[in-house]
């Protein structure tokens, strides 16, 4: 993904596609100015500044996710194809969208930090960002040894951040919980006899992190890996 692509639509008709630029505080309380650049109108809708009241903004890479804003002023265009919306987007109510947009933009600009040291909210955003940025994985390598280091795991979110990183590199995605983790494996369907194995080191920390809410979560993860042909090794070196 080069830029965060946005589909802008109104009245169930696509207005065009643009690259997200930024979100700034609007002229009054609980309002924002959302700015886009490189706006490419679709021609499906007559763009008038006063006839449009609500705008639906979708992420082009994952169009099932969207949010709708109410315009408080007319749409502003500039000669260099920038688009400005003054709307009722309240960052306190829509922190998820703003956090995700900010994260993806930081990645596109090669800025930002890794997932370790983030707070819980930002780690959730990180995992969703990995899904948007890298997509659902399609395959794993054959005859690989994947080492999951429990010393880097303090909670369940850490485990899934680490899992995506170990298997698919920085910003790799391998689920956000046990259900989506298994869904990824179902999507990949590793070939029988692929010869790869999983090594859990300092496994007591991983077990403690995963078993916080369900006492057998770690065992379930191991069982799922084995079901898809991964040899699983557990060490207790902590």
Domain end (from 64, 90, 116):
90
CA distance 137 to 159: 17
CA distance 23 to 44: 26
51 and 134 inside one domain? no
Q: Is residue 194 part of a domain?
A: yes
Q: Is residue 112 part of a domain?
A: no
Q: Is residue 226 part of a domain?
A: yes
CA distance 173 to 167: 8
CATH code for the domain in which residue 141 is found: 3.30.370.10
73 and 168 inside one domain? no
10 and 71 inside one domain? yes
Q: What is the pLDDT of residues 135-168, one digit of tens each?
A: 888 888 889 999 999 999 999 999 999 999 999 9
86 and 11 inside one domain? yes
User: 139: domain range?
Assistant: 130-234
- Residue 1 has what pLDDT? 40
134 and 230 inside one domain? yes
84 and 134 inside one domain? no
Domain end (from 33, 66, 90):
90
Buried b (16+ CB within 10 A) or exposed e, 126-150: bbbbbbbbbeebeebeeeeebebeb
Q: Is residue 100 part of a domain?
A: no
32 vs 117: which has the higher pLDDT: 117
Mean pLDDT of 185-209: 89
Q: What is the pLDDT of residues 5-47, one digit of tens each?
A: 677 777 667 777 888 777 777 777 777 777 888 888 776 545 5
75 and 134 inside one domain? no
Q: For 110, which DSSP code?
A: T
86 and 137 inside one domain? no
The structural domain count of the chain equals 2
Q: Is residue 169 part of a domain?
A: yes
79 and 148 inside one domain? no
pLDDT at 198 over 70: yes
Confidence class for position 219, pLDDT limits 50, 70, 90 = very high
145 and 209 inside one domain? yes
207 and 138 inside one domain? yes
Q: Is residue 125 part of a domain?
A: no
Q: Is residue 113 part of a domain?
A: no
Least confident of 105-109, 121-125, 170-174: 105-109
| pTM summary value | 0.67
Domain end (from 61, 90, 119):
90
- Residue 49 has what pLDDT? 47
197 vs 16: which has the higher pLDDT: 197
159 and 85 inside one domain? no
Q: Is residue 44 part of a domain?
A: yes
Q: What is the pLDDT of residues 60-115, one digit of tens each?
A: 555 445 566 777 776 777 777 787 777 776 655 555 667 887 888 788 778 778 99
């Amino acid at each position: 993904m080069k830029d965060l692509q946005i589909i802008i639509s109104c009245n169930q008709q696509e207005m065009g596609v643009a690259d997200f630029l930024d979100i700034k505080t609007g002229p009054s309380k609980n309002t924002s100015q959302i700015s886009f650049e490189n706006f490419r109108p679709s021609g499906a809708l007559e763009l008038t500044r006063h006839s449009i009241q609500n705008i639906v903004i979708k992420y082009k890479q994952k169009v099932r996710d969207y949010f709708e804003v109410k315009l408080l002023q007319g749409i502003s265009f500039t000669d260099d194809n920038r688009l400005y919306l003054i709307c009722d987007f309240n960052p306190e109510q829509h922190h998820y969208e703003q956090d995700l947009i900010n994260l993806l933009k930081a990645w596109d600009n090669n800025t930002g930090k890794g997932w370790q040291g983030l707070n819980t909210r930002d780690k959730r955003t990180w995992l969703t960002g990995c899904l948007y940025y890298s997509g659902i994985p399609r395959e794993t390598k054959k005859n690989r040894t994947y080492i999951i280091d429990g010393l880097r795991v303090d909670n369940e979110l850490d485990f899934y951040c680490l899992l995506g990183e170990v298997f698919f590199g920085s910003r790799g995605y391998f689920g956000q919980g046990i259900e989506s983790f298994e869904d990824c494996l179902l999507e990949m369907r590793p070939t029988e006899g692929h010869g790869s194995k999983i090594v859990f080191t300092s496994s007591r920390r991983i077990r403690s992190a995963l078993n916080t809410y369900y006492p057998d979560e770690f065992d379930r993860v191991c069982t799922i890996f084995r079901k898809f042909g991964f040899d699983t090794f557990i060490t207790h070196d902590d």
